[in-house]
Structure 1
Amino acid sequence: MENLVTNLDILDKNSEEACETVKTTPDQNTGKGRKLYIESYGCQMNFSDSEIVASILHNEGFDTTSEIEKADLIFLNTCSIREKAEQTVRHRLMHIHGLKKHKPELLVGVLGCMAERLKSKFLEEEKIVDLVAGPDAYRDLPKLIGQVDEGQKAINTFLSRDETYADISPVRLNSNGVTAFVSIMRGCDNMCTFCVVPFTRGRERSRNPQSIVAEAQDLFDKGFKEVTLLGQNVDSYKWSPEENNKMWLEKKGISNTVTFAMLLEMVAQISPSLRVRFSTSHPKDITDDVLYTIAKYENICKYVHLPIQSGSSRILEMMNRGYTREWYLGKIQRIKEILGDDCGISSDMIIGFCTETEEEHQETLSLMDIVQFDFAYMFYYSERPGTLAEKKYKDDIDLPTKTRRLDEVIKKQRAHALQSNLKDVGKVYTVLIEGFSKRSTNDLQGRTTTNKVIVFPKGNHEKGEYVDVFVKECTGGTLIGEVVNKAVNN
């Protein structure tokens, strides 16, 4: 999976910890009879899916709770991208087992990629699990819960070729009321050899653009100021009009297939005050049309997450990435030509893939020196059951070598991140205030258009405002500044 949720603090710890990022449900008290508690692990798509689950079950008589002890139904929305992510879920189930001893009627379910990968085996291995549902089976949850209420175990891990949940209005969980995710597609067709996503999330299918624009418009009408368009590979978004959508598209001057560049423009046109981000791009698919669309609209953030995975063309071929080192560097150059040197660029890197030599590791380090990523999401290779790499290649790089190479990559990225932030000192950025800083309620924080976190004194400003912030200093992970005036696009 390309779009792992993490930050520089997590990157400084361990190659696998980003997969342990977890969000839980907030309290929702409407007087409904049963309480739902969801923990979401892994990527942004999982967090978005949990909002869909909450919406479906809210309509079936469930409120949400932030306290696991008060729950009548506990769901773990899981990640299978790395072994440690699955271990985390298993350890969590041990804790939940203790809760169920004191509350036998408690219903426990496992959702998401881990559920899809293990299927009925999960019910056999984890005795306290009552329900297993894959990413395309969430509409079936009321029926599955009914089966459990009748004393049965319940499972649905069917992968759909057309499910996009386009008609479901997500319940925004852990929302700051300012930023939100909007899923534009599901699944992946790329078949990278290291990746389990095509097997846990199914084939690629794009969501109706009219529903995407309507969801983004609704968020803006409710006071949200930023949306992030989500997909495993947003650049391959492609939707052909159905009869009932042709009139809507014709009004927008579109008569045939909607591409990601077109969709991006539609969302940007909702309002200049609505910021637009997206994740994740694939080097072989991102087009000049997308880059020119970003350049055209000030409210589309100047930031591209473009995973390289390895700096070696031989390793990239083994990974089935569909591009070479030279192709990737050419794409980086194109981004800078169209969007300028100030465009934020981040990447994913997998260290110690099968047969990787020391020379090929050095190729990754040298590519980092050329590109100078602002951020990077770095992991050592973890073989996943059922992937093409597990079937075709031997995981022959020992753990001490993987760890040492990863440490070298992390140290280099820390240096590059600091240098990147130092270049921003003395500049002024328009920042959308997302809330208090993590360390003090006297300070607020937001992100620049290039996706860098910036912290500044609260003053009289509030969450949801746009402010112009002068960068005074920085650390390796954060810009530090002060408001110089209130931006005009509030």
Structure 2
Amino acid sequence: MLELETKTVVEERQGEAYAPFANDPNKYSKKFYIESYGCSMNFNDSEIVASILQEEGFGATTFLEEANLILLNTCSIREKAEQTVRKRLNIFRSYKKERPSLLIGVLGCMAERLKAKLLEEEQLVDMVIGPDAYRSLPGLIAEAEGGQKAVNVLLSREETYSDIAPVRLDTNGVSSFISIMRGCNNMCTFCVVPFTRGRERSRDPQSILREAQDLFDRGYREVTLLGQNVDSYYHTTSGSEDVTTFANLLEMVAQVSPLLRIRFSTSHPKDITDDVLHTMAKYDNICKYIHLPVQSGSTRILQLMNRTYTREWYIKKVDRIREIIPGCAISSDVISGFCTETEEDHQETLSVMAYSKYELSYMYAYSERPGTLAQRRYADDVPEEVKKRRLTEIIDLQRELSAQLFEQEVGKTFEVLIEADSRRSADDWSGRNTHGKVIVFPKENYNLKKGDYVQVKVHKATSGTLIGTIVPGNQH
């Protein structure tokens, strides 16, 4: 989940409504509208859902008024995310009063966690579909059209949707996501993911390669490999001793073309191996950027979180990354105010951030989630005002770190993948370098387009953007 405008991220991604840019809007007699919340996995899942719906004769729309079916792909990681979804559902119900045939469904993690409550107690939706049940959408729609409440939240040990070609719902045509695995085996005490998305299972590597090749052939120049914990990717072929690790997969995708950039998210510190780091160092088109969530800088709190590493171990991992990949950018997730957190624990978090020099962080005050191990084992005993004050200090430090790191780039030259016009001016291009930093530069008279690579020298840094000019003679 990469933010382009600000490098300090506090809230979850807002809902976004998408329509496939390549679709003929007049081709389909029925229309669906979909909003996605939360992590990049949810946005990628929405593309799988769009593919399934297209096979059933539904075309995408960005206009609620013309939709026959409204879907929300939801997140349960924080209470605020669920509150946002409930507000949207209440708005959608007003549309249903005017058009009783309109169907409303909830997908994803919130659907899995709340199940029948959304259907029966609050009567906000007609359908509830869990993350492993998207193939059943056609049958559930038929049930709902017949007046029944439709639900399927069964978790699967095998489902990876590897045979479904996602309908690309993004709009830039340059960058896209590829889901390589689903679920999570890490039982972090604060997290609902193992309960809402089930156990880990990895996609067949050949299906991933086919998707990457297809994207490249269609003009995409960057893919992000997605998973709750990509480094634990591990695929075995039935009846064979062949094993594909994440390092193997990373190399295979990098070899699709040197013009295809590779990113990945998210990494658990315990699983990112030297093999992965050496593979990153070997290929120029694997971006030198690692999202390495720390959550807390206190060993005591990390143990309560069941993160399976210590403060000292994490610091050594940061050192190892920069030893093998000099200059590698690192970002993180940080939680303030976890159960029993003291001022000393908080100060240890700040010191780990300062040592690691994160490019950006996703920063949250602890939000107790029903059903998690933390909710069952520990009291949520840090006062809200203390959580907020500590979060503010974390945010302030991250802003300082980001500003320093951006300023250090002035005078350097980077290869930039052009992604879009600058938001502020159609006379400028906007793209990112290997570290994920946004660089804006004048188009001038060069014959360039989205998806081209260009060398850009940085002349100025703002709080979240680098500003530069093209170095002549280095476009491709």
Q: Tell me if 1:53 matches 2:49.
A: yes
Q: Tell me if 1:18 matches 2:18.
A: no
Report which stretch shifted further, 70-79 or 121-130: 121-130
- Structure 1's 154 and 10: CA in aligned 2 closer, same or farther, altered over 3 A? farther
Matches within 5 A, 1:224-263: 224-243=220-239, 256-263=242-249
TM-score (norm 1): 0.94
- Structure 1's 373 and 410: CA in aligned 2 closer, same or farther, altered over 3 A? same
Deviation per residue, 1:192-227 (Å, 9 max, x gap): 000000000000000000000010001101111011
Partners of 1:467 and 1:483 within 8 A in 2: yes
SS in 2 for 1:163: coil
State the one-letter code of the partner of 1:42.
Answer: G
Structure 2 counterpart of 1:250 = none
- Structure 1's 10 and 400: CA in aligned 2 closer, same or farther, altered over 3 A? farther
Q: 2:216 aligns with which of 205, 213, 220?
A: 220
State the one-letter code of the partner of 1:440.
Answer: S
Q: Tell me if 1:43 matches 2:39.
A: yes
Q: Tell me if 1:468 matches 2:455.
A: yes
Q: 1:98 aligns with which of 82, 90, 94?
A: 94
Q: Tell me if 1:32 matches 2:28.
A: yes
SS in 2 for 1:57: helix
Structure 2 counterpart of 1:339 = 325
Report which stretch shifted further, 369-378 or 37-46: 369-378
Partners of 2:441 and 2:468 within 8 A in 1: yes
Q: 1:280 aligns with which of 230, 250, 266?
A: 266
Deviation per residue, 1:292-331 (Å, 9 max, x gap): 0000000000000000000000000000001000010000
State the one-letter code of the partner of 2:356.
Answer: V
**Identity rate of aligned residues, in percent?**
61
Deviation per residue, 1:113-135 (Å, 9 max, x gap): 00000011110233241000000
SS in 2 for 1:419: helix
Q: Aligned equivalents of 2:230 and 2:13: distance in 1?
A: 21
Shift of 1:7: 5.4
SS in 2 for 1:169: coil
Q: Tell me if 1:289 matches 2:265.
A: no
Q: Aligned equivalents of 1:139 and 1:175: distance in 2?
A: 25
Deviation per residue, 1:323-365 (Å, 9 max, x gap): 000010000000010000x111100000110000001100011
Partners of 1:26 and 1:173 within 8 A in 2: yes
Partners of 1:350 and 1:381 within 8 A in 2: yes
Partners of 1:206 and 1:239 within 8 A in 2: yes
Structure 2 counterpart of 1:9 = 6
Partners of 1:6 and 1:21 within 8 A in 2: no
Structure 2 counterpart of 1:190 = 186
- Structure 1's 23 and 453: CA in aligned 2 closer, same or farther, altered over 3 A? farther
Q: Tell me if 1:442 matches 2:439.
A: no
Deviation per residue, 1:226-245 (Å, 9 max, x gap): 110000101100001235xx
Q: 1:178 aligns with which of 174, 188, 194?
A: 174
Partners of 1:6 and 1:18 within 8 A in 2: no
Q: Tell me if 1:484 matches 2:468.
A: no
Partners of 1:415 and 1:476 within 8 A in 2: no
Q: Aligned equivalents of 1:214 and 1:31: distance in 2?
A: 27
Q: Aligned equivalents of 1:194 and 1:143: distance in 2?
A: 35
* Aligned residue pairs, count: 472
Structure 2 counterpart of 1:249 = none
Report which stretch shifted further, 176-185 or 451-460: 451-460
Shift of 1:440: 2.0
Q: Tell me if 1:363 matches 2:348.
A: yes
Q: Aligned equivalents of 2:193 and 2:103: distance in 1?
A: 27
Q: Aligned equivalents of 1:65 and 1:115: distance in 2?
A: 22
Partners of 2:221 and 2:451 within 8 A in 1: yes
Shift of 1:395: 0.4
Q: Tell me if 1:328 matches 2:314.
A: yes
SS in 2 for 1:227: strand
Q: Tell me if 1:159 matches 2:187.
A: no
CA RMSD of aligned residues (A): 1.4
Matches within 5 A, 1:305-324: 305-324=291-310
Q: Tell me if 1:410 matches 2:380.
A: no
Q: Tell me if 1:130 matches 2:126.
A: yes
Partners of 1:5 and 1:18 within 8 A in 2: no
Q: Aligned equivalents of 2:155 and 2:125: distance in 1?
A: 21
SS in 2 for 1:348: strand
Structure 1 counterpart of 2:77 = 81
- The list of structure 1 runs, each at least 4 consecutive aligned residues, that deviate by more than 4 angstroms after superposition, is 4-8
Shift of 1:442: 1.8
- Structure 1's 283 and 194: CA in aligned 2 closer, same or farther, altered over 3 A? same
Q: Aligned equivalents of 1:183 and 1:274: distance in 2?
A: 16
Q: Tell me if 1:144 matches 2:140.
A: yes
Structure 1 counterpart of 2:285 = 299
Q: Aligned equivalents of 2:260 and 2:386: distance in 1?
A: 46
Q: Aligned equivalents of 1:395 and 1:25: distance in 2?
A: 41
Q: 1:112 aligns with which of 105, 108, 113?
A: 108
Q: Aligned equivalents of 1:486 and 1:373: distance in 2?
A: 33
Q: Aligned equivalents of 2:463 and 2:206: distance in 1?
A: 41
Partners of 2:118 and 2:124 within 8 A in 1: no
Shift of 1:437: 1.7
Structure 1 counterpart of 2:364 = 379
Shift of 1:10: 7.8
- Structure 1's 257 and 338: CA in aligned 2 closer, same or farther, altered over 3 A? same
Q: Aligned equivalents of 2:187 and 2:474: distance in 1?
A: 44
